[in-house]
Structure 1
């Protein structure tokens, strides 16, 4: 199928892009890498009168570590392949680097953008889940100025966020972990490159006594949006890591999710079980890495 007709715009600056969004309103949609939006248009699952191509605006691309070494800023139009190869990301944000490897195929990562994937808010997407798991902050610009949005408040449902029609996601800022930390991503898909039926991301920081000082748990492919295991994080924090059973933790995390949906790829029960197994494996791998850090 072919997408419905639209008018193509290619602004040269962020200001021009934001002005177009404000002028055209809900009839316009930003286009970055197009790896998610174009298939939806071609299948006639959505339609827009105007597409605003922001994928080649130089100021929206790039990865940078701040002077204090505490935060990494990833421009919205940064290609996923660039994120994957970035030395800054691999050393300062290993969870993001490991999550990006699972995105589609090389050709998709060469075209797809990190900010576009986060804004697309696919519940089975690795990029939005990594941002949520790492407590990232979204930077969005509109004619009213720039605002920052914690990822915990950003996603509202499948392909849905709190962004206003005249707002453009311009960057994502992710905090850098220090100390004895370990990270892991585990997902189950029927074929390499497919969207995950269920997946989990885990970050764990241990204190000198091998107690959990901090942990973050993200889940994808299981609900209407990327999920966080806030309850499990709270219960694990302060606990000796040897006293935490990974299988019990994985079951507790998925049992706490009430929005798991079944489809032709698996029932609710099946997805919940696969999610628990992925969570258990990710937790074990992250803890193992932290113990040997």
Structure 2
């Protein structure tokens, strides 16, 4: 069912949405956020150098290693690093940030592959960023649904913004809800914080007014009775909506909603979205 917001609360509702929007944009445009990424490099056993990062990099069964030339230095966990440094085996969706001057060198694992992804504050995509177009917040897009846990977490393989890459999530359950009287459901993935959920989805606006590949909705833990609030006004873009240097997951097939969700963030200007 739809959550109705009294007119007296509309101002507070809008202000809360604006706070969320500003936080999203500030995180995206952080000096070392995704708009600062300058390259995406896939590691293997062959040592290689990259023009926007120091050292020679490779990976193997024991994880990622960088070998820095004389005069090159990184700072890892607050400590200066010279010569050879072993990052070790990085867990899936994990990562380490190594500082290099005013840049950060992200060392991470995505889809089973080790990557190096430098982030420079003066990256043109970041310095030219002027904000993301969005729909105006509207209480009609705040929906109360019901979380239905699976008997056991369900391994779910999804595609990625990068061709031939896959992500695997242990889906803990699904969320059923209604929009305009139409029954719908979304498979949920683990979100941030204990009990939090994440929903990846597309809808009838995807590729028209919203980014074609995906949007994401972060949800608070369900209540004791299983109810959960989906505020589609906070449907956000993942980094791949702005840059080809991201490895974002795509929604599972069942999360393609057959309705137009005219709420949340729209196609970024960087992808030709409306000003």
- TM norm structure 1: 0.24
Give the structure with the larger strand fraction: 2
Larger radius of gyration between Structure 1 and Structure 2: 2
Give the structure with the larger helix fraction: 1
